[in-house]
Amino acid sequence: MLKYIRSLLGGQPRPVVEILPQGLRITLDAGQTVLEAALAEGIAYPHNCTVGTCGSCKTRLRQGEVKAVTDFGYTLSKQELEAGYILACQAVPCTPHIQVEIPSPGAELPSPQAFQATVVATEALTHDILKVCVTPDRPVPYVAGQYASFTAPGLPRARHYSFAEAPQRSGRNELTFFIRKVPGGRFTDALFSGQLAGKTLAMEAPHGEFHLRGGNAPMVCIVGGSGLAPLLSVLEDARKNRIRRPCVLLFGARTEADLYMLDAIRDIAQGWLEPFKFVPVLSHEEPGSPWKGARGLVTEHIAAACNDFDCKASEGYLCGPPPMIDAAIGKLTELGLPLDAIFYDKFTDGRDEALAA
């Protein structure tokens, strides 16, 4: 009661919030939420709806106590509540000092589960990349950057394809993949010829360790071929959560006809809160073509693309064919990026023969 009367009289000290992993300390005004105060201080705090509904600002309360402006239970699960998670946009400290931690997107990678997924639509993105939409038998939880494994009837081995869209909090009911045709590949032959349309496949998901790390380091993203899928998912998710990180996206393709999802990239660029540079690079474009963009190997343009920010303090996110990734790692380390700040997903040839070789 005494505490309440004191709060009415304004005698309470302004609460201090320590934000991990950045280790920042901010002081809150009376009635201010953790998120409001952080944004007012210019701190890049993940958020989206700001009304306690989307879960983007989910935060672990390490020390102290908070009260919820709008009950956390509308959005957080029972397990999250029990694990001490709060929503920064609705949390007002009720102790003089609290410590919160913004969890890395990959802090809790969901366990893989078995699903039945039906191929409901396909759309040609380029001459050899197909956008494939499947409907699983129940919502699929995943972290942006992860992949699913598919097994078609009669094929001995699973094929792995990355989710191309941002995940949803309660799992996605519709999944999209970008699948490149592998010459002689039995799975993609069946898929591209329409034999799998309407078919139900066994799917296991999610898998993979590729995801956006926490913090606010600039991002150097390099993709080739169908490697755009996981990065599109990562970037779309980051944009949705209003992550504030400078970003450069290098997209390597053979010709202009091999560039795809440019609308989606444009939307991400327009909604990105920090500078976003998109650099398409064509390796086999006819010399006389009207293409005015970069030519050559995508890895040859990394240094020029990164000249707007401190490359040494950046993180590299690479997805695509192994030679491109190996070359990109070499180039990024030359530019001063430590190896442990480079994350990649190699897209290998999935043919049974190729694996046997």
Partner 1 sequence: MDYLKYYLAPLTQILAAIGFLLGGNYVWIGLAWLPICAVLDYFLKPDYSVRRMRNRTLAYIPIWLSTLMGPLLYVALAWSVSHHGLTTVQSLGAVLGCAWLSVLPLVPAAHELYHARGKIGKTVARYAQVCYLDSTRMEAHVVGHHIDVGTPADSDTATRGETLYTFSPKAVVKSTIQAQQFIGDSLVKKGHARWGIRHALWRAILALGLFLVLLYGIGGWHAVVVSLSSMVVARFWIETFNYFQHYGQVRVTGAPIEKRHVWNHFGTLSRLLAFEITNHADHHLNSYQTYYSLVPHRESVHMPSVFICFFAALLPPVWFHGIIKPALREWDLKWANAEERALARAQNLKAGWEDWFNDGQAAGNSTATAAG
Which parts of this chain interact with partner 1 (CB under 8 A)? Answer: 31-33, 35-36, 48-54, 69-71, 73-78, 81, 89, 92, 165-168, 172-173, 236, 239-240, 262-271, 275-278, 280
Measuring CA to CA, how many Å separate 214 from each of 158, 220, 243, 354?
Answer: 31, 15, 10, 36
Taking the complex as a whole, how short is the minimal distance between the CB of residue 247 and partner 1, in angstroms? 11
| Environment class of 319 (CB within 10 Å of its CB; exposed 0-12, middle 13-18, buried 19+) | buried
Residue 130's beta-bridge partner residues? 124, 179
Q: Which is nearer to partner 1, 36 or 315 (CB)?
A: 36
Tokens representing 269?
């660029």
Which residue's CB is nearer to partner 1, number 70 or number 289? 70
DSSP assignments along 7-19, one per residue:
HHHT-SPPPEEEE
Shortest reach from residue 78's CB to partner 1, in Å: 4
Q: Which is closer to partner 1, CB of 159 or CB of 239?
A: 239
Closer Cβ to partner 1, 130 or 342, answer by number: 130
**Minimum CB distance to partner 1, residue 250 (Å):** 13
CB of 218 to partner 1, least distance (A): 15
Q: 32 is written with which tokens?
A: 């201010």
Amino acid at 15: P
Shortest distance in whole angstroms from residue 48 CB to partner 1: 7
Closest CA to 252 of 339, 153, 337, 324: 324
- Taking the complex as a whole, how short is the minimal distance between the CB of residue 50 and partner 1, in angstroms? 5
Least CB distance from residue 253 to partner 1, whole Å?
12
Tell me the closest approach of the beta carbon of residue 21 to partner 1, in angstroms. Answer: 24
Q: How many CA atoms lie within 13 A of 163 on its CB side?
A: 34
Residue closer to partner 1 by CB (options 78, 284) is 78
Distance in Å, CB of 20 to partner 1, minimum: 23
| 3-state SS track over 220-262 | EEEEEHHHHHHHHHHHHHHHHCCCCCCEEEEEEECCHHHCCCH
Are 334 and 308 spatial neighbours (Cβ–Cβ below 8 Å)? no
**Contacts for 180 with CB less than 8 Å, ≥ 6 apart:** 128, 129, 130, 188, 225, 226, 347
Is the Cβ–Cβ distance between 297 and 224 less than 8 Å?
no
Q: Which is nearer to partner 1, 34 or 324 (CB)?
A: 34
| Closest C-alpha to 121, from 179, 183, 167 | 179
- Left, alpha or beta for 209 (phi > 0: left; psi -120 to 50: alpha)? alpha
Question: Which of helix, strand or coil describes residue 170?
Answer: coil
Nearer to partner 1, 209 or 308 (CB): 308
Q: Which is nearer to partner 1, 55 or 208 (CB)?
A: 55
Cβ proximity to partner 1: between 92 and 327 the closer is 92
